[in-house]
Chains A and B, each alone.
Chain A
Amino acid sequence: MRAPASLSMRLSLLFALVSLVLLGGLGAYLYHALGQQIAWRDDQMLQGRLERMEALLDDGESIAALRRRPLLYANMLGNRESLLWMLDAHGVPLIEVNPPGLPVPELPPAPEGRLGAHPAAESTRLAWRTLEHDGRRLTLVAGKTLDERERMLAAYRLRLWLAMGAGAVLACGLGWVVVRRGLRPVRRLAARARTIDVAHLHRRLEANDETTELRELSRALNQMLARLEEGFAQLSRFSEDLAHEMRTPLGNLLGATQQALQRERTREEYRQLLGSHVEEYERLSRMIETMLFLARTEQPSRALPRETVDLQGLADQLCDYFEGMADEDGRELMSDMQGRVRANLDLLRRALANLIDNALRHGRSGTEIHLVSRRDAGDWHLGVINHGEPIPDAERARLFERFYRGDPARSQSVGTGGLGLAIVRSVAQLHGGEAWCESDAAVNAFWLSLPTGDDDRVDRCPGRGQR
Chain B
Amino acid sequence: MRILLVEDESKTADYLARGLGEVGYRVEVARDGLDGRHLIEEADFDLVILDVMLPGLDGWELLRLIRRNGQVPVLFLTARDAVEYRVKGLELGADDYLVKPFSFVELLARVRTLLRRGPLRERECFQVAELHMNVLKRRVTRGETRLALTNKEFALLQLLLEREGEVLSRTLIASEVWGMNFDSDTNVVEVAVRRLRAKVDDPFTRRLIHTERGMGYVLEDRG
The residues of A with any CB-CB pair to B shorter than 8 Å are 271-272, 274-279, 282, 285-286, 289, 292, 296, 305, 317, 320-325, 328, 346, 349-350, 353-354, 357, 360, 414-417, 420
**List of B residues within 8 angstroms of A414 by Cβ:** 185
**List of A residues within 8 angstroms of B103 by Cβ:** 278, 282
1/0 contact trace for B46-82 toward A, CB 8 Å? 0000000000000000000000000000000000011
**List of B residues within 8 angstroms of A420 by Cβ:** 185
Interchain CA distance A289-B82 in the complex, whole Å: 12
**Residue contact B186 to A272, C-beta cutoff 8 Å:** no
Smallest CB-CB separation from B185: which chain A residue?
A415
8 pairs, CB–CB < 8 Å, chain A vs chain B? A275-B214, A276-B213, A278-B214, A285-B101, A289-B183, A322-B186, A324-B152, A353-B180
Known A286-B183, A328-B191; judge A317-B178 contact (CB<8 A). Answer: yes
Interchain CA distance A447-B185 in the complex, whole Å: 21
Check: B145 CB closer than 8 A to any chain A CB: no
**Residue contact B182 to A325, C-beta cutoff 8 Å:** no
**Residue contact A324 to B178, C-beta cutoff 8 Å:** no
**List of A residues within 8 angstroms of B186 by Cβ:** 322, 325, 353, 357, 360
Interface size, B (range): 20 to 34
**Residue contact A279 to B152, C-beta cutoff 8 Å:** no
Smallest CB-CB separation from A322: which chain B residue?
B188
Check: B115 CB closer than 8 A to any chain A CB: no
Main secondary structure of the interface of A (DSSP, over half): helix
**List of A residues within 8 angstroms of B92 by Cβ:** none
**List of B residues within 8 angstroms of A322 by Cβ:** 186, 188
* Residues 75-119 of B contacting A (Cβ, < 8 Å): 81-83, 101, 103
Smallest CB-CB separation from A277: which chain B residue?
B214
Closest Cβ of chain B to A405, distance in Å, is: 13
**Residue contact B188 to A321, C-beta cutoff 8 Å:** yes
**List of B residues within 8 angstroms of A289 by Cβ:** 81, 183
Closest Cβ of chain B to A177, distance in Å, is: 60
**Residue contact A346 to B178, C-beta cutoff 8 Å:** no
Interchain CA distance A357-B188 in the complex, whole Å: 10
**List of B residues within 8 angstroms of A323 by Cβ:** 152
- Apart from A320-B178, A353-B182, A416-B185, 12 more pairs, CB < 8 Å: A275-B213, A275-B214, A276-B213, A278-B213, A286-B183, A286-B185, A289-B81, A289-B183, A292-B81, A317-B179, A350-B182, A357-B186
The CB with the most chain B CB atoms within 10 A, among A275, A321, A346, is that of A321
Check: B138 CB closer than 8 A to any chain A CB: no
